[in-house]
Amino acid sequence: MKTRTVIIIILIAALPLLVGNGCTGNQESSAVTAQPGVQTVGKQAAQAGGGAPTVTTAPGNVKISGSQSGSVKIPAEQGGYLIKYRHKGFGLKLELNSPMGLINMVPGGQYAGSDGWAEFDDLTSFREAGEQEYQITATEPFEIQFVKLPGADAPDTPPKTYSGHGLKVVGPFSLKAGSASFKVNCPDLKQAGFVAEMYDGATGQNRGMIALGTSASVAETKKLQVPSAGNYLVKVNANGRADWTIEISQ
């Protein structure tokens, strides 16, 4: 059985903003297989909490949680996933060990709320079903949840305005085939970059660049050609203290 290895590290300082997504499975698997030195938990998993990392599985949902270092393997289905991160500490780094080298999949610079937890989202897509192996180094609590697309949320109908800060996925929203307008505003990038992109809400595939900010702020309107009627998502990659809005119309 082939696997790919991903390393997750709880850092002592926030990382610079980096972007990446996507990984590939190889063989379908319906349960996590225990191996020497690998902490695994199946569908009757213990509740998420502290300790060595554990895996909890349910239909369309996989969660890795813990507060210590260890290795886990998760079953992945073919297609897109929304990845929801929660962690305590000063940053979270996720790297995919690919044939081309280490690819950074999660930026730093995301900041904790009043409860001490930092929360942010990402998207990825598996070209094949298969088992994914993760090596985790951590000293504080974390949770990483993989939600199979399309999710259970009903899609919004434009015109719709989304707001947020930092790294976040908004939607789903329904679009017809043809032109769609995206008005983006981020008055202060907090000395970091800004990227907003549209993704297919079912496959997790990238469907076009909405905005790319490299100066102090972003204020622009972009029109994209929607390839077919369906549900879509927008992923924003920004500093955790950079507030932004996106107005979608068609």
> pLDDT tens-digit profile of 179-196?
999 999 999 999 999 999
Total structural domains in the chain?
2
* Residue 154, domain member (yes or no): no
Enter the pTM of the model.
0.77
* Residue 153, domain member (yes or no): no
Which of these three, 148, 177, 209, is where a domain ends?
148
> pLDDT tens-digit profile of 135-183?
777 778 889 899 999 999 999 999 999 999 999 999 999 999 999 999 9
Q: Are residues 22 and 134 in the same domain?
A: yes
The H or E element spanning position 64 is strand 61-66
Which of these three, 127, 148, 169, is where a domain ends?
148
* Residue 155, domain member (yes or no): no
Give me the domain span that covers residue 83: 4-148
Write the CA distances from 118 to 14, 55, 65, 123, 145, integer angstroms.
Answer: 12, 20, 14, 17, 14
Q: Are residues 129 and 180 in the same domain?
A: no
Q: Are residues 164 and 188 in the same domain?
A: yes
Which residue's structure tokens are 């990238």? 206
Q: Are residues 166 and 243 in the same domain?
A: yes
